[in-house]
Amino acid sequence: MKLKETLLFTQDESIDYNYDEIGDEHVSTSYDTPLRDDAFDISDNEKKEIIAQHFKGIMQTLGLDLTDDSLKGTPKRVAKMYVEEIFNGLDPKNKPKIALFDNKYQYNEMLVEKNITFYSNCEHHFVPIIGKAHVSYISSGKVIGLSKINRIVQYFAKRPQVQERLTNQIGNELKEILDTEDVAVVIDAKHLCVSSRGIKDDTSTTTTSYYSGAFKTESTKKEFLHYLTS
């Protein structure tokens, strides 16, 4: 059976319908985003078709009337949103193209870009994570366009995530691109899986950090954190 037919018609027997302690406690189990080897064997259009059919089934199961003018287009809208927008960071073809430039100004201090707004989705409940990322690096001879830092954050955010993984992925990607160990990332985010369900705590936020190279020294880390509060 082809992958598309399998996804459309075969019930996934691996689904655990028992109480999921890991998911309810929002624990990450892997550094890399969990993807199957055949994740990109079908086209985006085929994915949208499959998702639309499954989401239609969800709506019908909930008792919604899909003949209503307001609802009948929802399965296709959700499918398009999933594939083209909020989860398009799953596909490597959407990874931002990064151009580096020589550090001709010989700027050897830290560069800080803060308050990068991002929207992601919790992989445990598929509800939004809304936050800000603060990123810094010290050039080893190359610099990156400021907007590209934003694009890297958005790329990794646009997939089902846990905040710890997102923080590490951004930090390691910048280290590799810039060929420097001196990278720092701090993320502060609000999780709607905490505020809108479960404990329903609407005031708490979560902060995660990534420090590498010079940023592991107390003085450099302190300078970086000072910029975040100034």
The Cα–Cα gap between 61 and 55 comes to 10
β-pair partners for 101: 143
Active-site entry in 154, 161, 173, 191 = 191
Of the residues 124, 134, 154, 161, which is catalytic? 124
Query: What are the distances in angstroms from CA 227 to CA 168, 175, 224?
Result: 21, 21, 5
Q: Where are the beta strands (DSSP E) in the chain?
A: 100-102, 110-122, 128-138, 142-144, 160-161, 183-191, 206-211
Task: In whole angstroms, give the CA distance from residue 32 to residue 219.
Answer: 31
The residue from 26, 123, 154, 173 that is catalytic is 123
Whether 26 is catalytic is no
Q: Which of 49, 125, 169, 173 is catalytic?
A: 125
Told to judge if 226 belongs to the known catalytic residues of this protein, a careful annotator would answer: no
> Is 124 among the residues known to form the active site?
yes
134 is catalytic: no
Q: Which of 49, 122, 134, 173 is catalytic?
A: 122
Say if CB 48 and CB 83 are below 8 A apart.
yes
* 191 noted as active-site residue: yes
| Residues carrying an active site annotation | 122-125, 163, 191, 193
